[in-house]
Amino acid sequence: MKNKIGLIIDLDGTMYRGNQMVEHADEFVAQLIKSGIPHLFLTNNSSRTPHVVAEHLKGMGIPAEPDNVYTAAQAAARYISREQSGARVYVIGEHGLLEAVQEAELEVVQDKPDYVVQGIDRSFDYAKLAEAVRHIRSGAVYIQTNPDLLLPSDNGFMPGAGSIGAAIQAASGRSPVVIGKPSAIIMKDAIELLGLTPDQVWVIGDNAATDIRAGQAAGCKTALVLTGLTTRDNLSSMIEGAGVEPDLVCDSLPILLERLLVQE
């Protein structure tokens, strides 16, 4: 082995598209395991727990365990816990975020929170908006799991955590601490979980604006795969729009694997 490497791997558009596995994703991960290359699946999705994410991957034939998964919900809870152990938290989000907050031994409250933490919430309504704004304007720190305005779904794109956050920001007049990609906060956690240094880590993803920007900001090498959002047709415009240049661009996961194995 020439150099120790590890991988931080995006999920939607890189490992799967909705409920359909990206071509050769199962073989790609199986070969990482066989070659002893440490890897972590990193997702901005705050609605699902690591267990649910791992089961989704395994259901498509991709080897995964909960310990291989790190979510923006976990990163948000960890961030708050580092800032203030046992903090009082008002949560706007779904099961994945609630579980992460509780596992970090933070106190979920409805009134007088130290923090408002917000992710995707498909039951978001005016009452939740009003409460979040009231708490933030009263001094609670506003934490957002990720800035994604849209989420891919089987019925096209749906509003994401960033869209909910836009309403909260407009009404509260406060900008959030953003945790998920392309923030350096989630990347620092992921690199630490791999037990490697940034220069040993490759960040793999299909989105230059989130995955590649996050990797470069964290001091990692980056590989853009043309398996999801970015295609050969829109490659130039996507890179230009993101303002970053990946270290590698690969049409498929087998080509990426071949290039990575040379790095070892």
186/247 Cα distance (integer angstroms): 21
CB distance 204 to 223 below 8 Å: yes
Whether residue 66 has a cis bond before it, omega within 30° of 0: no
Selecting among 12, 114, 148, 211, the annotated active-site residue is 12
Residue 13 exposure: Cα atoms within 13 Å on the Cβ side: 22
CB distance 3 to 36 below 8 Å: no
> Is 114 one of the catalytic residues?
no
211/191 Cα distance (integer angstroms): 14
> Is 211 one of the catalytic residues?
no
CB atoms within 10 A of CB 30: 14
Q: Does residue 9 sit in helix, strand or coil?
A: strand
**Tokens coding 101:** 């907050």
Selecting among 10, 26, 148, 189, the annotated active-site residue is 10
CB distance 49 to 99 below 8 Å: yes
Residues 6+ apart with CB under 8 A from 91: 97, 98, 101, 108, 117, 118
Residue 97 exposure: Cα atoms within 13 Å on the Cβ side: 28
**Could you please report the per-residue DSSP string of 56-105?**
HHHHTT----GGGEEEHHHHHHHHHHHHSTT-EEEEES-HHHHHHHHHTT
Give the active site residues: 10, 12
